[in-house]
Chain A
Amino acid sequence: MTEVIWHARGGQGAFTAARCLGAAATLSAGAHALAFPTFGPERRGAPMCAYTKISHAPIGDRSAVQRADIVVYLDETLLHDGWESELAPGGIMLLNTSHATDDARIIGLDADAISANILGRPIPNTAFLGAIAAVSDAVALEDIHAGIKATMSERLQEKNLKIASAAYEALTSCNGRTTGERKANAREGNNAASEAFAQALSHAKARPEGRFTPQLHSTFSADPSQFARSTCFTAGHLVSENAGWRSVKPVLDPDACTMCLSCYMSCPDGTIYKMCNDAGAATALGIDYGFCKGCGVCAEVCPAHCIAMIPEEDAEVRA
């Protein structure tokens, strides 16, 4: 049995890819397959999981996969310490990244760049179908093509076939002659290839330009129990933060802020709060990064243009 765990954010197409992989295995390769997502209030941007199981025998175990042969991360920001506990012995992780990795268990693929080049916007799911064909014996690229044709509308097929093929080529382009050699090469010597590929395509990744040079202020540390005073806290609730949903974060320029409070009134999550002086007058605004989801409403409504949305990875570097 080959088992795959897909980590993604709602809206990135992880379940579509999980199902397509299962269809590829059953329709073309003649295997049995199961594909299902986790259930719960998954929302656009929220971290979610999907699973694919492929086997030559009928599959009786319908539970979620705990340890997988292949773990896919469609979004690099979802990767946390302890990820290796999901790997079965000999398992590998496929990561959507533009950076090179030095861990032999991690295979990097710049799926955002590949899909942005072909689709015009980064939708990384089908690139990883090609990547799985390159690194796993469970399915071949032709099977993946059959799966895409079977599960996607005609309008989407052509470009997604190209994406899957491009990802397959990116991981198998290091000199293998036979399929077996190519797969072996892809698994072992892939990092050099993916690094070169990432460099070639990195220009395709456009970085949003801020309207000013954002500065991070470490004084903006929020304790929701101070201002979101409610029974939730006495009951020990509200401990699960929403920050994992965010790929961009709002950064406020306190010198340009006029305290008009437009952002405060418009935040659907109430994460912008007033910081008061000793007399109780609001003198500045803070943002609770623990619960901000990065929707960007605050930056859009700010008449002084003093909130910029900056990518999380840049924010980490600056902090």
Chain B
Amino acid sequence: MPLNARTITDEELFYGHKACPGCGGALVVRQALKVLGPHAIAALPAGCMSATGFNFPQLAFGNNAMITPFASTAAVLSGIEAGLRAQGAKPEDCTVVGFAGDGGTADIGLQALSGAIDRNDDILYICYDNEAYMNTGIQRSSLTPYGASTTTTPASKREHGSITHKKSLFDIVCAHELPYAATASIGYMNDLLRKVETARNIAGTRFLHIMAPCPVGWGFPSKDLMSVAKEAVDTGLWYLAEYEGPTVSGVPGGRFKLNRNPRAFAPIAGYLQRQKRFSADDAADIEAIERARDERWEMMRSRWA
């Protein structure tokens, strides 16, 4: 039976956290833990979810959870998993799961993630992507999209925000030929739940890259969280894809799948205009964003669809 609003557990495992109202990252952690269950063991590096989930002497996690050094989410996950096995203390339904932001994954934690995949440790790594270092006050990461203003790429007369495009973390991870990787968005919740469930049931290193809008950092009213998340996918600026490695799919090099391949995209101008971070972007910027999107989709459609 597919996981949805009716079949998912009513138990809340991420509750009472101090994230900003309307936080996309908090929704990722909440829903993922509902799928993984109370025996999941979570590790979180410095970032929004560790700053808001652990408030000594309180803990917002209903399962075991710990904070790791910034660069070592995946290494700590490896250690937890190996330690549980060595002690013979790993429950059957225990998923060792990491929740790291885009900066903690694509910039600072990339080496540790690559190492864990290389060893194929039995862990699930979830990157909640809010497209900048939000916890420290909105600094650019390598997953910040082109044209987005941050405190380290401020919009000015000359530049209108980030001058680099979003790095393709999904491609980097899949190049390791790990058992399972997927992208998702809180705007397509059932797809997200299915992917967390799929990842839960596969052994070896699994990776999920989940788009999680940030009302404060992106500059939109908190009530618009879900429609902004959905629009990011509908405009083609984010994509829903899956990768099954050679060991799972039996295909040399692994098998890619585009879960959503629309005939036409929603116009991006409206999506950009409703977010303050893009407010300095002009027609040339929008064209550059559109061109990059079209090139990306041409690649994905020719190879994955």
| Alpha-carbon distance A293/B13, docked complex (angstroms) | 18
> If A268-B19, A296-B223, A300-B226 touch, does A228 touch B62 (CB 8 Å cutoff)?
yes
A235-B55 in contact (CB<8A):
no
B17-A240 in contact (CB<8A):
no
A268-B27 in contact (CB<8A):
yes
Q: How many whole Å from A292's CB to the nearest CB in chain B?
A: 9
A232-B216 in contact (CB<8A):
no
Q: Which of B4-12, B76-84, B141-149 contacts A (4 or more CB under 8 A)?
A: B4-12
Number of A-B contacts (CB under 8 A): 139
B58-A239 in contact (CB<8A):
yes
A231-B62 in contact (CB<8A):
yes
Check: B110 CB closer than 8 A to any chain A CB. Answer: no
User: Which residues of B from 47 to 62 have beta carbons under 8 Å from A?
Assistant: 51-52, 55, 57-62
B222-A242 in contact (CB<8A):
no
User: Which residues of A from 212 to 244 have beta carbons under 8 Å from B?
Assistant: 224, 227-232, 235, 237-242
Check: B38 CB closer than 8 A to any chain A CB. Answer: yes
A270-B18 in contact (CB<8A):
no
> If A266-B226, A297-B223 touch, does A41 touch B55 (CB 8 Å cutoff)?
yes
A238-B60 in contact (CB<8A):
yes
B59-A297 in contact (CB<8A):
no
| Alpha-carbon distance A291/B63, docked complex (angstroms) | 19
A270-B21 in contact (CB<8A):
no
A224-B15 in contact (CB<8A):
yes
Q: A277-319 vs B: 1/0 string, CB under 8 Å? A: 0000000000000010111110111000000010000000000
Q: How many whole Å from A81's CB to the nearest CB in chain B?
A: 24
| Alpha-carbon distance A294/B222, docked complex (angstroms) | 9
Which residue from A237, A240, A265 sits with its C-beta under 8 Å from B5?
Answer: A265
Q: Which of A42-50, A59-67, A120-128, A183-191 contacts B (4 or more CB under 8 A)?
A: A42-50
| Alpha-carbon distance A237/B17, docked complex (angstroms) | 11
Check: A168 CB closer than 8 A to any chain B CB. Answer: no
Number of B residues contacting the other chain (C-beta, 8 Å)?
A: 43
Which residue from B10, B38, B60 sits with its C-beta under 8 Å from A227?
Answer: B10
B225-A297 in contact (CB<8A):
yes
B58-A237 in contact (CB<8A):
yes
Q: How many whole Å from A297's CB to the nearest CB in chain B?
A: 5
Q: How many whole Å from B91's CB to the nearest CB in chain A?
A: 14
Number of A residues contacting the other chain (C-beta, 8 Å)?
A: 45
A240-B221 in contact (CB<8A):
no
CB contacts (< 8 Å) of A46 on chain B: these are: 18, 20
Check: A205 CB closer than 8 A to any chain B CB. Answer: no
Q: B142-175 vs A: 1/0 string, CB under 8 Å? A: 0000000000000000000000000000000000
A268-B11 in contact (CB<8A):
no
Q: How many whole Å from B38's CB to the nearest CB in chain A?
A: 7
B20-A238 in contact (CB<8A):
no
B222-A230 in contact (CB<8A):
no
A238-B16 in contact (CB<8A):
yes
| Alpha-carbon distance A260/B189, docked complex (angstroms) | 14
CB contacts (< 8 Å) of A270 on chain B: these are: 12, 14-15, 30
CB contacts (< 8 Å) of B17 on chain A: these are: 269
Which residue from B5, B51, B64, B226 sits with its C-beta under 8 Å from A41?
Answer: B51
| Alpha-carbon distance A41/B18, docked complex (angstroms) | 7
B15-A269 in contact (CB<8A):
yes
Check: A15 CB closer than 8 A to any chain B CB. Answer: no
**Which one of B10, B13, B27, B189 has the highest number of Cβ atoms from chain A below 10 Å of its Cβ?**
B10
> If A237-B57, A270-B15 touch, does A229 touch B62 (CB 8 Å cutoff)?
yes
CB contacts (< 8 Å) of B204 on chain A: these are: none
Chain B's closest residue to A230 (CB) is B62
| Alpha-carbon distance A126/B24, docked complex (angstroms) | 31
A238-B15 in contact (CB<8A):
yes
CB contacts (< 8 Å) of A273 on chain B: these are: 10, 12
Q: How many whole Å from A15's CB to the nearest CB in chain B?
A: 12
Check: B254 CB closer than 8 A to any chain A CB. Answer: no
Which residue from A224, A240, A266, A299 sits with its C-beta under 8 Å from B55?
Answer: A240
A44-B21 in contact (CB<8A):
yes
Check: B227 CB closer than 8 A to any chain A CB. Answer: yes
| Alpha-carbon distance A264/B6, docked complex (angstroms) | 10
Sample 9 A-B pairs with CB under 8 A, ordered by A number: A44-B20, A230-B63, A240-B58, A260-B5, A293-B20, A295-B223, A296-B221, A296-B223, A301-B227
Residues of B within 8 A of A (CB): 5-6, 10-24, 26-27, 30-31, 38, 51-52, 55, 57-64, 189, 215-216, 221-227
Task: Known pairs A228-B62, A238-B15, A242-B16; list 12 more (Cβ under 8 Å).
Answer: A43-B20, A44-B222, A229-B62, A230-B11, A231-B62, A262-B5, A267-B27, A268-B22, A268-B24, A273-B12, A295-B22, A300-B227
Residues of A within 8 A of B (CB): 10-11, 41, 43-46, 224, 227-232, 235, 237-242, 245-246, 260-262, 264-270, 273-274, 291, 293-297, 299-301, 309
